[in-house]
Chain A
Amino acid sequence: MFRCMITSRGMTGAQITQKTLENSGVYSRIVRPPPGLLPEGCGYAVEIQSNDVAIARMILRSSGGGRIFCDAGDGYREMRV
């Protein structure tokens, strides 16, 4: 099991994503993203388990987007939504 991050520039945006995931039964937590994921500076990420990625992608597609990064061992790689 590895970690995935859905990035958000604002706290409220991350909280809305978390609430949407929760409504679909996906447990998550809001964290500070690792360096490099948000070039604009401070931001937030909603961390989920890798086995929830498929549901998360489905949710992000229907809610108009978002970016998902997954831990590939040697760093985070962006996944297509």
Chain B
Amino acid sequence: MIYLDNAATTLRKPSCVIRAVEKAMRYAANAGRGGYSGAGLSEQILFDCRSAAAELFGVKGADKVVFTLNATHALNIAINSVIQPKMKVLISGYEHNAVSRPLYARYLDGVKVTVVRGELFEPEYFLYELEKELERGADAVCCTHVSNVFGYILPIERVDELCARYGVPLIIDASQSAGSVPLNCSEFKAAQFVGMPGHKGLLGPQGTGILLCLADKGEPIMFGGTGADSKNRYMPEYLPERLEAGTQNVHGIAGLAEGIKTIKNLGVENIARYEKELIKSIIKGLELTPKVKLYYANALFCQNGVMSFNVRDADSEQVASELEKMGIAVRAGFHCAPLAHESAGTISGGTVRISVSPFTTRGEIGKFVYVLKKLTEILK
């Protein structure tokens, strides 16, 4: 199978990730619940992974790296921590439901959500619209770094600058950028939280996620044991324990640590360059195919290794289904991001999405281009 659904999860993992999970399953006991060697191994796994993530994202202190189940869990904690009743929250027009649903769920609290619209691959226009809304008044901003549908890289550093200028806290969804687009948190001024999955660009197992708590605070959405401060009726005040109730997914985190180390060894810049080359070769191969509509940025200046397309007169699900029959895995439909499709004008039928990883080969891309061309001749 040619796997081109890496924006959902990276299917192929480095062998060191698989080995680390297996080793942890054999030897790692419960972290923070005992003084014996098995517990110590788990504690070391957690700390190694926190330290690796802190270094990769320019975060000062391993204690600001909180483990979650996935990016959605991380973003829910972030939103619960920042968004207070009656706040006006600005979000980009490219948000995933992992951001928009937790915000819309707060309507009973009087939370008002305003979508800052912007044309696809027009970051300057988005910044202009965002500043206009900030001038009108807002209490918080939630913004994705990269659209999961179109691979559109939003200018997150400049969003942070704008938020800092207006004194508004920022929550960043780094689900599609972590591990595939450079992201340095050390310069952020307004960003308080960055949420990301462990199983996509970071090459870890599913069931892992990370919340970077840049402001060194956060409000829990789950309460329970932390292996510390046991006599306290309330959750500890310090991170990461405050936001990590119950047993962590140490087995998964062992794999995630190796995934992050692999990313560091490969270099995020190198990964970004390689993935762009793959997307460029798809564009080169398909842009003159009359029935294929590709959605891409000029020279890919603000796009990563994710791209959407449609085949004229064919439903996106039908195209994905035909590709699957030919051994190519892609995702069709709305990708849990209806806002993005509204913004890009693809809300009627969605799109077919392809997304690459460092493990995708040029040969696979060539085969995909060939198969899609053939398919457009068959599809009516």
> By CB atoms of chain B within 10 A, which of A9, A11, A16 has the most?
A11
Flag if B47 contacts A15 (CB, 8 Å): yes
**A 2-13 to B, binary, CB cutoff 8 A, 1 in contact else 0:** 000000011111
CA distance A16 to B50 in the complex (A): 10
B207 on the interface (CB 8 Å rule)? no
Flag if A43 contacts B228 (CB, 8 Å): yes
Flag if A30 contacts B230 (CB, 8 Å): no
Stretch from B166-174, B232-240, B305-313 contacting the other chain: B232-240
Give chain A interface residues in 15-32, CB to chain B under 8 Å.
15-16, 19, 30-32
Which residue from B40, B43, B51, B236 sits with its C-beta under 8 Å from A9? Answer: B236
CA distance A43 to B231 in the complex (A): 10
Given A13-B63, A15-B47, A30-B43, A40:B232 Cβ within 8 A: yes
Flag if A12 contacts B236 (CB, 8 Å): no
A-side contacts of B241, CB under 8 Å? 9-12
A-side contacts of B35, CB under 8 Å? 31-32
Given A10-B238, A16-B63, A43:B229 Cβ within 8 A: yes
B62 on the interface (CB 8 Å rule)? yes
A selection of 12 A-B contacts at a CB cut-off of 8 Å is A9-B236, A9-B238, A10-B241, A11-B43, A12-B47, A13-B63, A16-B61, A19-B51, A19-B62, A30-B40, A32-B35, A42-B32
A-side contacts of B229, CB under 8 Å? 9-10, 40-43
B-side contacts of A69, CB under 8 Å? none
What interface size band does chain B fall in? Answer: 20 to 34
B-side contacts of A12, CB under 8 Å? 46-47, 50, 62-63, 239-241
CA distance A39 to B227 in the complex (A): 14
> By CB atoms of chain A within 10 A, which of B47, B226, B240 has the most?
B47
Which residue from B46, B51, B232 sits with its C-beta under 8 Å from A41? Answer: B232
B31 on the interface (CB 8 Å rule)? yes
Flag if A41 contacts B231 (CB, 8 Å): yes
CA distance A43 to B230 in the complex (A): 8
Which 7 interchain pairs have the tightest Cβ spacing?
A41-B230, A41-B231, A15-B47, A42-B230, A10-B241, A32-B35, A11-B32
Given A10-B236, A10-B238, A40:B63 Cβ within 8 A: no
CA distance A73 to B65 in the complex (A): 39
A6 to chain B, nearest CB (A): 15
B-side contacts of A42, CB under 8 Å? 32, 227-230
Flag if B228 contacts A9 (CB, 8 Å): yes
CA distance A12 to B35 in the complex (A): 15
Q: What residue of chain B has the Cβ atom nearest to residue A18's Cβ?
A: B47
**B 323-351 to A, binary, CB cutoff 8 A, 1 in contact else 0:** 00000000000000000000000000000
CA distance A51 to B249 in the complex (A): 38
B55 to chain A, nearest CB (A): 12
> By CB atoms of chain B within 10 A, which of A10, A12, A19, A42 has the most?
A12
B150 to chain A, nearest CB (A): 37
B-side contacts of A40, CB under 8 Å? 229-232
